[in-house]
Structure 1
Amino acid sequence: MALWRWLGETARELRADGQAELAESLVRLAQMAAEGQADAAAEAQPAAERAARGESAPSWAAPLVGHWPLAARVGDRAEGQAALPAALTRLRASHVGGADGSAAGCTPAACSAEPVLACYANIDGPGHVVDRATLVAESLGHTRPGEPAWEALVLAQADMLIDDERPDEAVRELDARAAAARTGGSGVSLDYAFGYVRALRHLDRYDEALSALDRVEAGMAAAWPGGAPRAAARRRLDMERARLLAWLARSGRCAPQEARAALPEQREADAHPRLRPAWAEAAEHLVAAGGLDNDWRLGTALTAWSRYFERVGSDRLCLRVGLVAARLAVARGARWTADSALRRSERAVKRVRRAADEAADLDEIHTEAARRGPRELPVAASEVLPLLRGQSPEEVDPEHQADLVLAALQENPGDPALLNALGQVGRTLGLTDAAAELHWPRVHSAPGDQKAALSLLETLLADKDTAGLRALVRHLTGAALGSAPQPSGGAPDPAASPASAPVG
């Protein structure tokens, strides 16, 4: 049974039983989770829990209420290490066997193992296949074919097999589980098709995957109620189709224009982090096929996305997006953007397992970046800022500006005006962490340089770097009192919150 059908039927039963508040809360929380509204779901949770703890409320109601805020974080928001402690806590508390062999804290709609499995996949899908396989096998024993929780676990198992480079086995597992469900009289929902699509894509069976998406689209109105459920399914369908068509365009089997038209707007991926790795992959294929411009705006989006995944501890996703960002930045000659993406990817590759291919990609990108060499100054270092200020709006390329400023800083290290310009362009490009890193030596060596301190302050504020702000306040306070602390190099925070400001 589909999750949304289960929720609809259960909500009707609860209303008939005089529990309208609980019914509305469950549906509303599930819709928030589908939209990735984790904060809103967390705010609505206490009131929903009070309704779920009523004397006549079913025993599964409270666990299901607690599931949705976490589901928003690990699902649409694609969080990893940031959400794992909460997910593990819920798992340990809920998987206490009852007299009937069920899990006391699980529900037919959702198993508490689901958020943990999603966290493992976000953090390092291939590196956690053993943990995922063990957890799925244990958790399936708490569910029955036809329940939404059962179907979610089967799909998680298929994802694990694909990450373990066994997509053909994933297809066979999906077939076998679906047959078992049909034998039991329940069948599977249309969500199930997405498991096939991913497996078929990894088997290079693109035409079959596209046909599966066509069937999903044909049945969409019946499978998902209007509003948040259908919108979430539509986003996933559109993104999967765009990724398939982009690869076909790159391989010459599809017109680049057709593939480009299928790519969702970038703002969709901005709003829903779960879409970002697929969007980045499709964008790289389209650039290679000549269907998408490889410009600084694309680079800024990829920078923001990879920094987000680093901040929430989704290391494998950070690595995937970071490698795309680095390759495209090198290709368009954006040295600072490329270097920052490479450093971020290097941090990520150290935190994941089974990354031989990714490590080889990093070496290849480094080689290409070294071949291109550093940016050469067209004028003397002292003339760089006047040159940039004289550019017309049509000429402005923030990545080119940043590279010129960095080249000038190589000749005039610690120059306050150049650092201020770097801070401004860094905020435009979402490279506030990299800009702050270059500011700190000047602030440590010249705490009385108010211009440098103010520029660093603006960069830290744009980066929402609370630790860095505290470090700056401590340093400036200590300097004013004559007891400046020892330089610590700042406190860079792997987060991205790009602001827009031209070099002035």
Structure 2
Amino acid sequence: MDMIWGWVNKLQEELDEAGQNQAAQLIDQISDDVAELNIGKVEATMPEALALSRSLQNPWLEVYFRHWEMRNRVGSLVQGEVALKDAVEFFEFAHREETLECPQSICVTQDLTECYANMDGPGWVEERMAVAEETLDRISPKWNCFQCLSCEYAEALIDDQRYHEALSYLDQQEQKILAAGEELFGSLSSRKVMAYIKLGEYEKAYELFLQNIKNSEKNYQWRKHVEMDNVSRAHLLALLGKIDEAREALPAWNSISPMSYQTWIAAAVAIAKQDEGFNTWSLSSVIQQALNYYVSVGTYRKIIDVAMDQIDLALARGSVWCANRALMMMQETLPKLRKQDGIQIIIDQYAEKIATFGQAKLPVLANELLEWLNGQEERDPEKEIDWLQMAAKALPEDQEVLSSLIDALKALNADQEAMEYLWAFVEKDRTDSQLAYTLLGLLINGQKLTELERFITLFESESAIALWSKIQRALNEKNLDQAKSLSFRMYELYPDYRGPISVLVYVFVEQKDFANAAKWKRTLANMEEDPRNQLWDVMSYLCAAENWDEARNVAAELEINLVSESGVIEEDWGLVYIRTFTEDGPYDALAQCNGPVTARILEPSPPSMKEQLCNDWVVFDAEHLVERPEDENERFIPVFRKLHTLEKGNFGTSWFVDGAFPGEELFNQFKAQLDEKGWRIWVRSPEDYKVTDSENNDELLAGIYFVLTAPQSISAKEIDQVMHDLIKGWPHQMVWYYLAKEAGKAVEPHLALIERYQLD
């Protein structure tokens, strides 16, 4: 481990000692976020990381960060050609004189070979094997990279259909690692599973998969590995014919990342081939989403493989349109492959199969189709698509038919085809039509800003649709002032349109101008037949603006009975959870609700959170984020989204404390002493939490862990001292490793306690 990470750990210690704690944390954060599949967070953090490496004039650190950037791009996001230029440049950077000795320069080989594999695995087999072998010759089996690069070599063999050779190679590499006294991580074994699947030896593959899971149980499982295991389990169960179990094991499509798309689809295909009811247009739409994604990132070989699955399923459903679309994608992708052996023959064979289905025929006259479709009990956009295309061709002026066709195409993730139809109509029509707004939505959602400019030129500069398009462009570019100015102009010209008013509310909220947000939200409320939902928002904005008198007036309109009659609303409204959206995702904190839309947060934030929320006085959006349970007797605490912080609680960092429970009397005394100081403590351990005293015959003891926070003015050194003073009479000492480290105190006693009580 030290061969790869030793210099990284040393650099972190040096940064900590220099007071650059945030920089030190960033080094761990990047790798953790990649492993936890925090894909967007890695992308957002990378500029800061690279700036740090350059400010420190540390090229090794830049190699480290760029390696993890590539793990995110070619690993989690399976980018192919779109990442190739950067991967090659990075490989060259990592092999300069000043970076060649950096241990992470070895890892860069994996990044480049995986990028080639994403583009066209079989087409780059020899090059992938050569570069992996050359790098393996430079390191010993004691390096973690030895296992990673062995996996890359084995995957190249598998892509070349040399499955038995891959299995022998993996056995050989495992023996080298064990002979060097190192532990096997399971990555090599997972490649054996891949080889056995290719050989059709599903029982052996599943048995090995389960053994890998069992071997890894003692270690923390990163989200990346959990996702891969979940998808692989479903795939193997389906291959074994255990369809009910496979369906239950298959994760929701929207819960997985691009790295799992192909295995998920392989599992779904295996299920669908044995369960006809699973082979639906919805599955086709999901597969098309993956195909569209692979096109966008230049992952070409996967397009061929997945398109073949799509055609097989489509023909089984009798969907000629879907099969033809996948066939066209194969034809367009073929020239981009380095190795094209036999694919044209497969394309020709599929074309012949599709041709045997003949042309679809309208079930009724074109002008009767929509009425006929609306009378059907079940709608299937895939079956309807051919009919709607024929009807649209027969009735080119019928906007309802075209709109139905567009809806069907969108349902099947055929946005590009939908846009082609819409462009043809809008360029001819050039009016403020619903179809024009549909095209605008597709352009905005697809980030097609160049085409958006073309769209805007089709209309008069101050027509409603032109102004709305410019507003959407400004919002997309995060130019809030321009969006606001354009919205004012659109409202002036078209006062009955609600869109620009909604944008004004949004902009004013983003700019923390809650008085104006309330004013324009009131304008929207006045346009509603039932304004109650809008008025709740008005009240939230007025509270955020600290306009308590007007907030009370709105409460009266909503028939809310307040106890107090004037001034700040400060009453007991029970407990709520306040949801804050942080870099790490949503976080719900228990709070005391003190008004219809205000609350004060009770619990300290987790130590991992950068922002401390404890005792913050906040305004929240009154929309319930969690539905109330049907059982009225079930305890329910509503959850609301934080809108604005009226007043910070001014507490400092939270510290984690763990160990044996001292008993109710001592712990209650401890809490009372902290309360006197104005500090906050929050127990997070379950009631059955136990610790093991390894120095007393592994005796099981009642355990407790909690977080502690003190006002910002109290230093870590002071907190550490108070903790020592308050618990010195306890029968067992507690652990607060990170607090001690921050306070500059010896951490060895805490490490000894962690080992003694077997704390994680």
- Alignment TM-score > 0.5, same fold: yes
Distance (whole Å) between structure 2 residues aligned to residue 59 and residue 472 of structure 1? 46
Residue 155 of structure 1 deviates from its aligned partner by 0.6
Q: Which amino acid aligns with 2:366?
A: A
CA contact (8 A) 2:15 2:23 kept: no
Counterpart residue identity of residue 422, structure 1: L
Q: CA deviation at 1:422?
A: 1.7
The aligned counterpart of 1:402 is: 385
1:69 partnered with 2:54: no
- Letter of the 1:348 counterpart: T
Query: What is the distance in 1 between the residues matched to 2:239 and 2:343?
Result: 19
Match of 2:104 among 95, 103, 107: 107
Within the alignment, does 1:434 sit opposite 2:431 as a pair?
Answer: no
Which residue is 1:33 aligned to?
Answer: 34
Question: Contact conserved, 1:286 with 1:292, CA < 8 A, in 2?
Answer: no
> In the alignment, does 2:230 pair up with 1:282?
no
* SS in structure 2 at match of 1:69: helix
- Residues 1:463 and 1:417: Cα distance change in structure 2 (over 3 Å): farther
The percentage of counterpart residues that share the same residue type is: 26
Assess if the C-alpha contact under 8 Å between 1:35 and 1:72 holds in 2.
Answer: no
How far off is 1:13 after superposition? 5.5
1:22, distance to aligned residue in structure 2 (A)? 4.8
Alignment RMSD: 3.0
Q: Which residue of 2 aligns with 1:258?
A: 245
Partner of 1:176: 172
Any idea what the Cα deviations from partners look like across 1:154-173, whole Å, max 9, x if unmatched? 11010011111112111122
Contact 2:13 2:24 in 1 (8 A): no
Alpha-carbon offset, residue 187 of structure 1: 4.4
Match of 2:395 among 409, 412, 435: 412
Unaligned runs of 5+ in 2: 464-760
Letter in 2 for 1:399: E
The answer to whether 1:234 aligns with 2:232 is no
Shift of 1:474: 4.7
The Cα shift of 1:53 comes to: 5.9
After superposition, give the CA deviation of every residue in 1:326-378 in whole Å (9 maximum; x if it has no partner). Answer: 22123223333332222122212232143445444433332332222232212
CA contact (8 A) 1:399 1:429 kept: yes
Task: Give the whole-Å Cα distance in 2 for the aligned partners of 1:115 and 1:258.
Answer: 35
Check whether the contact 1:114–1:152 (CA below 8 A) recurs between aligned residues: yes
Q: 1:90 to 1:403 in 2, by over 3 A?
A: same
SS at match of 1:395: coil
**TM-score, length-normalised on structure 1?**
0.81
* Aligned AA (1:76): S
Aligned equivalent of 2:334:
349
Return the letter of the residue paired with 1:423. I
8 A contact 1:2–1:191 mirrored in 2: no
Which protein has the bigger helix share? 1
Higher mean alpha-carbon deviation, 303-312 vs 67-76, is at 67-76
**1:126 partnered with 2:122:** yes
d(CA) in 2 for partners of 1:203 and 1:115?
A: 27
What is the CA–CA distance in structure 2 between the aligned matches of 1:16 and 1:64, rounded to whole Å? 16
Displacement of 1:472 after TM fit? Answer: 3.2
Q: What is the Cα deviation at residue 35 of structure 1?
A: 3.6
For 2:312, the equivalent position in structure 1 comes to 327
For the structure 1 residues 96 and 178, does the alpha-carbon distance in structure 2 shift closer, same or farther, using more than 3 Å as the test? Answer: farther
Please list the CA deviations of residues 292-346 of structure 1 after superposition, one character each: whole Å capped at 9, or x if unmatched: 5111111111111100000111011122222222221232233333322221222
Question: Which one is further off, 325-334 or 83-92?
Answer: 325-334
Report the more deviating stretch, 184-193 or 210-219: 184-193
**Distance across 2 between alignment mates of 1:44 and 1:309:** 25
In the alignment, is the contact (CA less than 8 A) between 2:430 and 2:458 conserved in 1? no
1:50 and 1:307 mapped to 2: Cα distance? Answer: 33
Which amino acid is the alignment partner of residue 184 of structure 1?
A: A
For 1:43, the equivalent position in structure 2 comes to 44
Q: Distance in 2 between matches of 1:378 and 1:405?
A: 11
Q: Which has the larger radius of gyration?
A: 2
Change (3 A) 1:357 1:396: same
Matches within 5 A, 1:445-484: 446-448=428-430, 450-451=432-433, 453-474=436-457
Does 2:405 match 1:422? yes
Give 1:184-333 correspondences, 5 Å limit: 184-223=180-219, 225-226=220-221, 229=222, 231-249=223-241, 255-268=242-255, 271-290=256-275, 293-333=278-318
User: Which position in structure 2 is the counterpart of 1:87?
Assistant: 87
Check 1:437–1:419 CA distance in 2 against 1; reply closer, same or farther (3 A cut): same
Tell me how far apart the structure 2 counterparts of residues 58 and 457 of structure 1 sit (CA, whole Å).
46
SS state at 2:79 partner? coil
Residues 1:338 and 2:323 aligned together = yes
CA contact (8 A) 1:105 1:112 kept: no
The structure that is strand-richer by fraction is: 2
CA distance in 1, matches of 2:353, 2:69: 44
- 2:248 & 2:425 partners in 1: Cα distance? 47
Matched length: 457
Alignment partners' CA distance in 1, 2:117 and 2:380:
37
Give the conservation status (yes or no) of the 8 Å contact 1:283–1:292.
no
1:127 Cα offset (Å)? 0.8
Q: Which has the higher contact order (CA 8 A, sep 6+)?
A: 1
| Counterparts in 2 of 1:180 and 1:207: CA distance versus 1, 3 Å | same
